[in-house]
Amino acid sequence: MTNLQRMKDMIKRGETPVGICVSFCDCSITELLADCGFDFLWIDNEHASLHRENTLHHIMAARGTRTAVFVRVPTVDPVLVKPILEMGVEGIIFPFVKTAEEAELAVSSCTYPPKGIRGYGPRRAVKYGAIDTLDYIKEVPDNVWKIMQIEHFEAVNNLDSILSVEGVDAIIVGPSDLSGSVGLLGQPGHPDVMRLMDKIGEIAARHKKPFGVSIGYNETAIKQWIERGINWIQVESDVSLLYRGGITVLKDTRELFI
């Protein structure tokens, strides 16, 4: 059983997979977080300074664990997606998808002909030749999640059509950029943004596709998303964990000397 299938099974059972974002270059971070027991890791190629080699090392570091590995690419571009797929990743996250046409291109970039435009040349994805070519081609649609990130009001307006695209496996909401798209950056709790979030939950429920959210750790916000019906959640990042842990240890230690 693949780690992605394990995650899918959790969702079917009504459990909520929990993941975390990785942005540092050192692949020991991925190894450590996978050992913590996170259900998935999100390797960030959009905002972080990761190169292909860093990304490959992160993916390799999770091998042998029960943690699925997704990579967020910078944009919907088949040229950027192809080498990541060849590394054997279990999901691609496409940021700022706003239309069904963009979702179609995203899916097509992950799909072999005749339904898609992905060029053939897997390396690590076929375990360097240990997996039969025809078996890989047959199984890859189920073994790689195509995830659309919903983080713009236009995406919310077009969400019905985005979720109707064949091959879209899941969506995940980015509240920060969603708030920014309506002129309220940094205010995800604003009533106007909350209404957009509620609308996403309602539409996702109708389509019955895995619906997730990417947020920092905030009990109130997480409970609100649980009420909206999320099936999976990415909480925090390596950066925020290290910063918060460092600040806490520093503060607590200094207080011992008072």
Paired tokens of 128: 């360097």
User: Higher-confidence residue: 1 or 179?
Assistant: 179
**Residues taking part in catalysis:** 47
> What pLDDT, in 10s, does the model give residues 139-176?
999 999 999 999 999 999 999 999 999 999 999 999 99
pLDDT in tens, 44-70: 999 999 999 999 999 999 999 999 999
Cα separations in angstroms, 182 against 45, 91, 134, 191: 25, 29, 47, 12
With cut-offs at 50, 70 and 90, classify the pLDDT of residue 1: confident
Domain span including residue 221: 3-255
pLDDT at position 98 is 98
With a pLDDT cut of 70, the percent of the chain lying above it is: 100
Question: Which residue has 């691609």 as its token pair?
Answer: 92
Look up the CATH number of the domain holding residue 230. Answer: 3.20.20.60
pLDDT at 258 over 90: no
What's the confidence (pLDDT) of residue 41?
98
CA atoms within 13 A on the CB side of 51: 1
Integer Cα distance of 5 and 7 in angstroms: 5
Q: Is the pTM of this model over 0.85?
A: yes
pLDDT band, very low/low/confident/very high, at 213 (cuts 50, 70, 90): very high
- Whole-number pLDDT of residue 141: 92
pLDDT averaged over every residue in the chain: 96
Q: Which DSSP letter does residue 124 get?
A: G
The helix (H) or strand (E) run that includes residue 110 is none
Residue 241 binned pLDDT confidence (cut-offs 50, 70, 90): very high
Q: Does position 183 have pLDDT exceeding 90, yes or no?
A: yes
Q: How many domains does the chain have?
A: 1
- The residue count of the chain comes to 258
